[in-house]
Amino acid sequence: MPFLEKKTFTRLTPLLDFLEFSEQNRDLVWDRPKFPLMVPLRLALKMEKNNPHCPLFLQFVPLKKERLVDENYSLEPVKDPIFRLTPKLLKKYEGRSLLLATKACAMHCRYCFRQNFSYETSQKGFQNEIALLQKNDTIHEVILSGGDPLSLQSKDLLELVGQLDAIEHLRIIRFHTRSLIADPLILKQELFDFFLQTRKKIVFVVHVNHPKELGEDLRVCFQKLKKCGVTLLSQSVLLKGINDEAAILKNLCLELFDHGVLPYYLHQLDQVQGAAHFYVERKTGLNLIEQIRSSLPGYLVPKYVEEIPKKTSKTPIFSLHAI
Ligand code: SF4
């Protein structure tokens, strides 16, 4: 079958054909989104046939609902540009810096808050960023983000982590990545070798929203990372119609732990234009967390948080009064 030779769907018709979508269901889909379609084969294979409510389909396939303009949603909800030290280096929180390693991603999530943010520059490499990090010994952790840091060419990523490794006052290199759910084989042996030999602590925060994104292939990848001493945490975005039920979130936490990953954050949606149909009220989120807390041990209950620009950390959502 020709479509199985491709690793990623970037055109709608082959994807909808593959998913055996009816004419009626195709009518829900938006064929000219600004943020283009990008669905890795691994995820397409996990989508339910002819089901526009499938939690994986909803996360990655543009619906006409994205065209709705809502005044509470903006193109740049987390206001990243005000934290820029360089086009690729942000300083938001005490002791930590965020390095936007690349604009590229292995998939395009429809709720992505960076979908309108053009931070790719013509500057190759990270000389300016490394120089700033070297100078500032109050920074003990670098968070690699993007896009997705694992979308960097393997040799560029190795060069970058090698440069970070050489900065003495840095203690932790943290990856925020969703690429592993697109391709659990994406990590090259050289990177595992680096993790084994470095004295820095390596943390992976894996972005997973639904238990269907997990699987045996991912478990093997996580086991390999753990053998290299990597700490594995998860981050999920609370999304309407996808994971806004206690049973799904509970199962997600249990499955993550079963895969060797500790649930870390349940994140309130960043209100980016086009994503309003994913919004879950804080009241509902609090209720969901309460239900998880009552049935799982405390170490499996993620912190329910949101990003409020100019705050010195993610803001925990404890009660409606704080809003
Ligand atoms: S993987 Fe993350 S950065 Fe990339 S499109 Fe999805 S949400 Fe955005």
User: Where do the domains of the chain lie?
Assistant: 2-67, 80-322
> Whole-model pTM?
0.95
* Residue carrying the six token digits 């969901």: 288
pLDDT at 1: 46
For 108-164, the pLDDT digits (tens) are 999 999 888 665 555 678 999 999 999 999 999 999 998 899 999 999 999 999 999
Q: Which residues contact 321 (CB under 8 A, 6 or more apart)?
A: none
pLDDT at 3: 47
For the cut 80, the answer to whether the pLDDT of residue 4 exceeds it is no
pLDDT at 2: 47
Ligand 1 binding pocket includes 178 (Cβ within 6 Å):
yes
Under a CB-based contact definition with an 8 Å cutoff, are residues 304 and 285 in contact?
A: yes
CATH of domain 80-322: 3.20.20.70
pLDDT at 320: 66
Ligand 1 binding pocket includes 110 (Cβ within 6 Å):
no
- DSSP result, 42-90: HHHHHSPTT-TT-HHHHHHS-BGGGG---TT-BSSTT-GGGGEEETTEE
Phi-psi region of 147 (alpha: psi -120 to 50; beta: other; left: phi over 0): left
For 167-226, the pLDDT digits (tens) are 999 999 999 999 999 999 999 999 999 999 999 999 999 999 999 999 999 999 999 999
Residue from 112, 210, 265 to probe ligand 1 pocket by mutation (most atoms less than 8 Å from CB):
112
- Closest residue by Cα to atom 6, ligand 1, is 109
Using the mean position of ligand 1's atoms as its centre, give its distance from the Cα of residue 77 in Å: 15
The whole-number average pLDDT for the span 227-236 is: 98
Using the mean position of ligand 1's atoms as its centre, give its distance from the Cα of residue 152 in Å: 14
Under a CB-based contact definition with an 8 Å cutoff, are residues 160 and 126 in contact?
A: yes
* Position with higher pLDDT, 6 vs 127: 127
pLDDT at 5: 44
For 57-85, the pLDDT digits (tens) are 999 999 999 999 999 999 888 887 788 89
pLDDT at 199: 96
